[in-house]
Structure 1
Amino acid sequence: MDNKELAMTCDVLVVGAGIAGIMAAIEAAREKQKVVLMSSSHIFSGSSFYPGTWGLGLIAPEDEEDEEDLIRTIRTIGCGMADEAMVRSFVKEMRPTIAYLQEIGLQLKDAKEKNQKEFIPCFDHKTRSWHGVVADKARERFKELLQELEITLLPYCELVDVIEEDHRIVGALVCERNQELRFIETKAVILATGGYGGLFEKKLTTSDITGTGQFIALEHGCTLVNMEFMQMMPALVNKEGKASEVPIIFNEKTFRYATLQQDSETDQTVMDCDKKMLEQRATYGPFTSRMPSREIDFLIASHDKEGLQVSYNKELLEDMPEFIRTYFDWLKKKRNLTPDSEIRISMFAHAANGGIKINEVGATDLLGLFACGEVTGGMHGADRIGGLSTANGFVFGKRAGKAAAEYAKECLKHTGIRNKDREKELSLWEIPNREQIKSDMQRSMMEASMVIRSERSLHQALETIMTWKENMIVKSTTDVKAYVESRKLWAQLQLATGILQAERLRKESRGSHYRAEYPNIDSQYARRIEIKLQDNCVITEFEEK
């Protein structure tokens, strides 16, 4: 590479432009820091703005008394895997954060009939203070704030690595529009890069959700926690079991009015799912092993190739609840589908309940490195209440932004990237057959790490990935895009290794984690699993008590 000047200097670099990243950037800029907001896709991206869902909601406790109930419920639903201090801190900040959002002019939609059972959050036992985020209005207001606060935007800019000196962030290496590598000198970096749906072949995420943020943190001495707890959700598919370009999330509330059917060679046979089981399944979206209605998800998973057909009874058409009516109005507009249409569903990887281990303000184990949103773990457990993912982005995005700004202020001046000739030392390399390896990895994760997991499938997937890693051919290159894509693939292989190891280590079924050989919760595994990197080897072990 030719030696180039630093692309820019800033106080706080935010990586990821979903809700968490945007909130972090706004809050850091409000603290009078020079902020750069970059995204590997466009601004307003990631799961926060996923186009295959009909709405984005967040919940909060009704009052102080409800705060304590929500804290207890999160810990119960999380099956002991959520960090109590993180949960308490999270819940206590929800109501002030909603007031803050209204103060900065973000439009929130309240339920007209909030006492309807459809507004009980997923896995919860009661209604909460529910607020819908109007995506178009949110974009407009966020755009205004980003301009007012003079935040520099870098869309289609990929984070390649962070740079540390003396265990402290001093900069980042980025790739602009797949063409050019640049260094950014900064005092603090906030990772808001989302989950790791990109490890799976079928996923309810956008293409920028790759899991590389988690691995970059891992490379720099940080710890990952609860990575085996990945949410799996039903989504719409065609007769061949294929989703549209942007898969549409199935509205679980409609299970209450559904009949599940399978195709045979001669006729259609109604599946034996009683009304009580469908009623239970209608109360939550992602798969859980905690309830008898998990049999419905097993049924959906068994029809992965062609999708499981869903039909609706007349009761739904005669008296459609507000929450479901909103969904079908949106579905008609997006896909021209109605309750009378042929609807088939299959299981997809959705959202991560685990990620980078942070403290209450979003700080990691590396000075100057912060994280927020779905890239993090600790505030959620084995299952997660609906509306908490969005709340997480707002609450911890705001906190991480403020904490990073305060940290940057303490660094009165840039320590500087000592070796200004780093670009001369940077040797570019590539993995020639990376598309084949990526495809094999995604297929292996689908076969091993979806709804039903077994020792055999997990072992086979791990063997496939380890074989690729051990026999990988790497060659030098001058192609920047090839280098960035190859480094991303290596990150994904390492991350997949850690996840599969964690899934094997947890020999029980707890929340979103189901092991066929171990269908029940086992008290001896009532500890979180941590993933670390030592000498470039992925280490997976139970957290010390």
Structure 2
Amino acid sequence: MDQLKTPHSHPGCTFSSVLVVGAGLAGVAAALAAAEADAQVAIACAGRLFGGSSFRPTTWGLGLVAPDGPEDEDDLARTIVDVGGGVADEALVNSFVGGIAPAVAWLESRGVRLKRPDNPGEREFVPCFDHKHRRWYGLEREPVEAALGKRIADLGITVHSDWELLDIRPAGDQAAGAGGFSALFLDAASGRPQTVSCRSIVLATGGSGGLFERHLGAAEDTGAGHACALRLGARLTNMEFMQIMPGLVGRGQGTVFNEKVFRWTQLLDEAGTDAVAPFAKALGATTGEVMGARSGHGPFTSRLISRAADMALDAAGPQGLRANVRLPEGTALPEFARTYFQWLWETRGVSADDEMRVAPFAHANNGGIAIDERGSTGVEGLFACGECTGGMHGADRLGGLSSANCLVFGLRAGKEAARHAAKNSTATRPSLPEAWRPLLSQEPADKRVAREALQHVRSIMERACMIDRSEAALAEAHRQLTEMREAVEHATRVESLQIANLATAALAVVDAARARTESLGSHHRTDGEDGDSR
């Protein structure tokens, strides 16, 4: 039990031995693991509990991939490193793969019903970019929320919904994390700051897809966790690698287009002609070869001939291309695609027979805050998990491993955060940083300021960091974002912290993309060397 000395904080400050920032799959796993280790736990999230990209209704649910038994672990780890283009942390990958089966067992032991395929041998159940079948599970929102929501309530975990992360400071003048942390949030309901002090923090803040105009993940995924981690001395890795996915525009706007049916799909321009053909020809391929290859993975990659389809979509602009799914006579939709189209019809009123429009959307990060096998960032007391982290994936990521990452490192980070908090349980409770005191007496934050700043960042990132990237566009993005951050560097308003976080997170992506001058996986440089076209 945490034995606290008298705090020196303002009346609105609360304390929890472990604070988890984020309430998607990773954040929920971390909070439960910490609470099960007898820590006093609070969750603060920018949206709702069971929010973030994990539970955003852009498709039927989440795929979860595991090795097909212990004998498959070495092959899965080698494949992750190979598909990742050599930029993944091999030791972290090995540890990650070894933790997937125990994480799945933990999930089921907490009452979560996992979906299992009726026809697991169908080619559509081979994970994106993989060369063989693995053990596949489906995570559906309702069973996860029901089982884990009850567990959160039973363990007495405090939840602060609609709290946007603004800043994190180490306690007093001590080294980062040695005496705990104070975290500053903006409460969306009141427009006023709120603070939480804690012994340990777990960042589960998601990726940075929300920095783009067209995005499939949660709108609140704008990289605040990345910005705060950098200020505390943590390191980011592989930030240039972001998944760009095909999504629907118009009817079904903002939902994933199921890539498994690309091999039966025509992508047509406004004149009704094959939009892929010229891009395929430039690679010495046919449209059929390109679309067949494109069915093997959801995200764009620069290393396969399938990139011709994405280049055609990108060239069409925000309105996308017309997509017609035409199965050969006598061919039935495979189970994986059938599940998707049933969901799409029930939730969006779109069927497989309808003409759709498809465009590229920013999706998930393959990189993020660098962590070790325990979820530690290297800053004492600061842990991270889920999509805000990096190292266990590379330039391309196998399908189904994002949810596996959330579980494996969520559980580990939560457990380690509880251990760190217990070890420091007799220390003086962190006090409110002096720099924050003026913020607490100000008028409610002007939502318009942050909204306009976010829209400006999104327009910058859309131009510079989608499929086509070049030094000219990236340098201009760097200039604009640097000016934006410098303009609020010495300001003392809540809105200034919001803008600084947006600019810092966006710069982390832009600067990493500038530094890597060659194409690799999801990172495509139009002015660099071509990706591997295997």
TM-score between both structures, scaled by the size of structure 2 = 0.90
Q: Which runs of structure 1 show a deviation greater than 6 angstroms over 4 or more consecutive aligned residues?
A: 427-432
Q: Which stretch shifts more, 37-46 or 161-170?
A: 161-170
Q: Which stretch shifts more, 450-459 or 272-281?
A: 272-281
Does residue 1:144 correspond to 2:153, yes or no? no
Q: Which stretch shifts more, 418-427 or 67-76?
A: 418-427
Shift of 1:498: 2.5
Partner of 1:225: 237
Shift of 1:466: 2.9
Contact map agreement 2:58 2:254 (CA 8 A) in 1: yes
SS of residue in 2 equivalent to 1:110 = coil
Does residue 1:189 correspond to 2:186, yes or no? no
Give the counterpart letter for 2:332 in structure 1.
D
SS of residue in 1 equivalent to 2:165 = strand
Q: Deviations over 1:234-271 (max 9, x none)?
A: 10113xxxx76x6111100010111121113xx54564
Partner of 2:163: 157
Out of 21, 32, 36, the residue aligned to residue 30 of structure 1 is 36
Out of 207, 218, 227, the residue aligned to residue 206 of structure 1 is 218
Partner of 1:313: 326
Shift of 1:414: 3.7
Q: 1:469 & 1:355 partners in 2: Cα distance?
A: 20
Identity %: 39
Q: Which stretch shifts more, 411-420 or 505-514?
A: 411-420
Contact map agreement 1:18 1:49 (CA 8 A) in 2: yes
Shift of 1:422: 6.5
Q: 1:230 to 1:423 in 2, by over 3 A?
A: closer
Shift of 1:73: 0.1
Out of 104, 119, 123, the residue aligned to residue 110 of structure 2 is 104
Contact map agreement 1:97 1:395 (CA 8 A) in 2: yes
Structure 2: unaligned runs, 5 residues or longer: 1-8, 278-285
Q: 1:384 & 1:316 partners in 2: Cα distance?
A: 34
Shift of 1:16: 0.4
Give the counterpart letter for 1:348 in structure 2.
F
Partner of 2:267: 260
Give the counterpart letter for 2:93 in structure 1.
V
Q: 1:186 to 1:329 in 2, by over 3 A?
A: same
Contact map agreement 1:257 1:316 (CA 8 A) in 2: no
Q: Which stretch shifts more, 331-340 or 13-22?
A: 331-340
Shift of 1:316: 7.4
Q: 2:346 & 2:54 partners in 1: Cα distance?
A: 20
Contact map agreement 1:186 1:414 (CA 8 A) in 2: no
Does residue 1:325 correspond to 2:338, yes or no? yes
Out of 462, 474, 480, the residue aligned to residue 458 of structure 1 is 474
- 1:419-430 pair list within 5 angstroms: 424=437, 426=439
Give the counterpart letter for 1:251 in structure 2.
N
Contact map agreement 1:230 1:512 (CA 8 A) in 2: yes
Does residue 1:389 correspond to 2:396, yes or no? no
Shift of 1:521: 5.1
Q: 1:336 & 1:425 partners in 2: Cα distance?
A: 50
Does residue 1:342 correspond to 2:348, yes or no? no
Does residue 1:441 correspond to 2:457, yes or no? yes
SS of residue in 2 equivalent to 1:401 = helix
Partner of 1:49: 55
Contact map agreement 1:373 1:389 (CA 8 A) in 2: yes
Structure (1/2) with the larger strand percentage: 1
Shift of 1:275: 1.8
SS of residue in 2 equivalent to 1:114 = coil
Q: Which stretch shifts more, 431-440 or 76-85?
A: 431-440
SS of residue in 2 equivalent to 1:93 = helix
Partner of 1:541: none
Out of 487, 501, 511, the residue aligned to residue 511 of structure 2 is 501
Partner of 2:369: 356
Q: 1:473 to 1:408 in 2, by over 3 A?
A: closer
Contact map agreement 2:35 2:41 (CA 8 A) in 1: yes
Contact map agreement 1:448 1:454 (CA 8 A) in 2: yes
- Report the count of equivalent residues: 507
Q: 2:209 & 2:439 partners in 1: Cα distance?
A: 30
Q: Which stretch shifts more, 413-422 or 104-113?
A: 413-422
Does residue 1:85 correspond to 2:91, yes or no? yes
Q: 1:516 to 1:316 in 2, by over 3 A?
A: farther
Contact map agreement 1:11 1:408 (CA 8 A) in 2: yes
Q: 1:57 to 1:473 in 2, by over 3 A?
A: closer
Q: Deviations over 1:307-341 (max 9, x none)?
A: 11111223277411111111111111122111221
Partner of 1:543: none
Give the counterpart letter for 1:259 in structure 2.
Q
Partner of 2:282: none
Give the counterpart letter for 1:236 in structure 2.
L
Shift of 1:472: 5.7
Q: Deviations over 1:210-238 (max 9, x none)?
A: 11011000011111110000110010113
Q: Deviations over 1:463-492 (max 9, x none)?
A: 22234345569766xxxxxx4343122111
SS of residue in 1 equivalent to 2:54 = helix
Q: 2:197 & 2:190 partners in 1: Cα distance?
A: 20
Q: Deviations over 1:268-303 (max 9, x none)?
A: 456425222211100000000110111111001001
Contact map agreement 2:43 2:159 (CA 8 A) in 1: yes
Give the counterpart letter for 1:26 in structure 2.
L
Question: RMSD across aligned C-alpha pairs, in angstroms?
Answer: 2.2
Q: 1:434 & 1:151 partners in 2: Cα distance?
A: 30
Q: Which stretch shifts more, 163-172 or 138-147?
A: 163-172
Contact map agreement 1:374 1:389 (CA 8 A) in 2: yes
Q: 1:112 to 1:84 in 2, by over 3 A?
A: same
Q: 1:492 & 1:302 partners in 2: Cα distance?
A: 27
Q: 1:51 to 1:161 in 2, by over 3 A?
A: same
Q: 1:520 to 1:33 in 2, by over 3 A?
A: same
Shift of 1:175: 3.0
Partner of 2:313: 300
SS of residue in 2 equivalent to 1:126 = coil
Q: 1:225 to 1:41 in 2, by over 3 A?
A: same
Give the counterpart letter for 1:172 in structure 2.
A
Q: 1:284 & 1:16 partners in 2: Cα distance?
A: 28
Contact map agreement 2:64 2:138 (CA 8 A) in 1: yes
Q: 1:305 to 1:150 in 2, by over 3 A?
A: closer
Contact map agreement 2:368 2:388 (CA 8 A) in 1: yes
